[in-house]
């Protein structure tokens, strides 16, 4: 396990000691610097052994320097650090306001679970194949989206011990666009259900908790600058859904298990979060792959999606699948690369409109995969 560095700033000495005890218990092998002088954080850090803090935590209300001011300084000077705001303000508005300078907003009083989740995200991000320059560019993005309230509520419902499909249906019922999308997918020919349903609980039951959460994330996530118009957002979401449906169909025809079919569907839909993020930075759909120049060998929107999703607590394998979809290799011994190849192939196929084009793609693939594409041609053309 990597030994990461953490800095925490709080003018309350008792709070700082409490944080110190907690973090040393959770990650005794990590290096921590606890500061009670926010005005001198750069000077004290320079004199310490801490060089590249993976996490930088600051209290919000400090008399000499507010946490939002301090974290904006950190964003300028240590952009690769995960920035965390500690606050007793639990209103919904604060995370929206804090999105420009903080990756996480943790409540006071905090819990051990809050810090464990933060540390797990930092560890996963550390394992991703991003170089130093890429990490600095990602940390400097003008404003990362925060998870919508409905998604947070849905995640809490799914995590609760008494979760059932009726409770999940009740949460999503407050978002008409989400309800419409769930029915669209649950009744899609791509998913192979023989009977149409107009029951929300049944539709939720058909898709399951993982897909419902993914659909909510891909559809409801908004980025603050609003450079992306509602129509363009819809266009990106619709395309991601088509790609995901095709990817799931390919995985099913290749005899992958239901959970693996869901995995490529999830990766396809969540790639759209990266597309929206890069569009908000000023890109167009035509140059979304290269606009930010994040890291050679990867597309910008794939890197942005993987980065953001890991910050939101997703498992590292979803990030790996998203990153590997630009290099199609069905012969790889790494199953993550194969999953990514399915998503990448689905992205190629989604743009094709004729039987001749689909046959041409099939001919360029290993025989077993090419045969799958040939078998699916009637359905792909029917739903194009």
**According to the model, what pLDDT value does residue 59 have?**
93
The answer to whether residue 1 scores a pLDDT higher than 60 is: no
pLDDT of 175-200, one tens digit each? 898 999 999 998 987 787 778 999 99
pLDDT digits (tens, 9 = 90+) for 318-373: 999 999 999 999 999 999 999 999 999 999 999 998 999 999 999 999 999 999 99
Angstrom distance (rounded) from CA 223 to CA 105: 17
* pLDDT at 180 (0 to 100): 92
**Predicted model pTM:** 0.90
Contact 58, 84 (CB under 8 A): yes
* Residue with more model confidence, 61 or 303: 303
C-alpha separations of 174 from 150, 178, 205, 273 in Å: 8, 8, 17, 22
Neighbouring CB atoms inside 10 A of 75's CB total 19
Note the pLDDT tens digit of each residue in 223-246.
665 688 888 888 998 999 999 999
Q: Please give the mean pLDDT across all residues of the chain.
A: 90
Q: What is the mean pLDDT of residues 15-27?
A: 93
Walk me through the domains of the chain, giving residue ranges and CATH numbers. Answer: 5-127 (3.40.50.2300), 149-382 (1.10.3210.10)
pLDDT (tens digit per residue) in 279-292: 989 999 999 999 99
Asked whether the predicted pLDDT for residue 140 surpasses 80, the reply is yes
pLDDT, tens only, 33-74:
999 999 999 999 999 999 999 999 999 988 889 999 999 999
């Amino acid at each position: 396990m990597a030994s990461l560095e953490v800095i925490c700033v709080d003018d309350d000495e008792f709070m700082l000691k409490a944080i110190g005890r907690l973090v040393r218990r959770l990650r005794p092998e990590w290096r921590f610097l606890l500061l009670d002088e926010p005005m001198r954080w750069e000077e004290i850090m320079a004199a310490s052994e801490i060089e590249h803090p993976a996490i930088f935590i600051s209290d919000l209300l400090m008399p000499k320097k507010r946490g939002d001011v301090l974290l904006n300084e950190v964003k300028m000077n240590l952009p690769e650090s995960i920035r965390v705001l500690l606050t007793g303000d639990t209103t919904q508005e604060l995370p929206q306001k804090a999105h420009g300078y903080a990756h996480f907003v943790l409540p006071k009083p905090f819990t051990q679970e809050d810090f464990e989740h933060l540390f797990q995200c930092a560890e996963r991000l550390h394992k991703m194949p991003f170089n130093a320059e890429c990490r600095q560019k990602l940390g400097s993005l003008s404003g990362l989206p925060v998870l919508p309230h409905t998604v947070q509520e849905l995640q809490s419902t799914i995590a609760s011990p008494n979760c059932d499909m009726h409770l999940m249906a009740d949460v999503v019922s407050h978002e008409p666009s989400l309800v419409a999308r769930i029915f669209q997918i649950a009744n899609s020919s791509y998913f192979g259900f023989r009977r149409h349903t107009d029951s929300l609980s049944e539709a939720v039951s058909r898709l399951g908790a993982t897909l419902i959460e993914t659909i909510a994330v891909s559809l409801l996530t908004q980025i603050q600058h609003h450079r992306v118009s509602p129509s363009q957002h819809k266009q990106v979401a619709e395309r991601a859904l088509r790609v995901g449906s095709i990817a799931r169909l390919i995985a099913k025809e290749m005899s992958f298990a239901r959970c693996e079919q869901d995995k490529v569907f999830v990766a396809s839909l969540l790639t759209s979060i990266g597309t929206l993020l890069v569009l908000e930075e000023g890109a167009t759909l035509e140059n979304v792959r290269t606009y930010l120049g994040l890291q050679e060998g990867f597309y910008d929107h794939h890197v942005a999606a993987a980065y953001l999703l890991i910050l939101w607590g997703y498992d590292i394998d979803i990030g790996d699948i998203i990153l590997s979809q630009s290099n199609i290799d069905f012969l790889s011994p790494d199953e993550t690369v194969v999953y990514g190849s399915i998503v990448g192939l689905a992205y190629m196929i989604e743009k094709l409109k004729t039987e001749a084009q689909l046959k041409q793609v099939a001919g360029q693939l290993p025989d077993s995969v090419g045969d799958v594409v040939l078998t699916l041609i009637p359905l792909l053309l029917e739903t194009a």
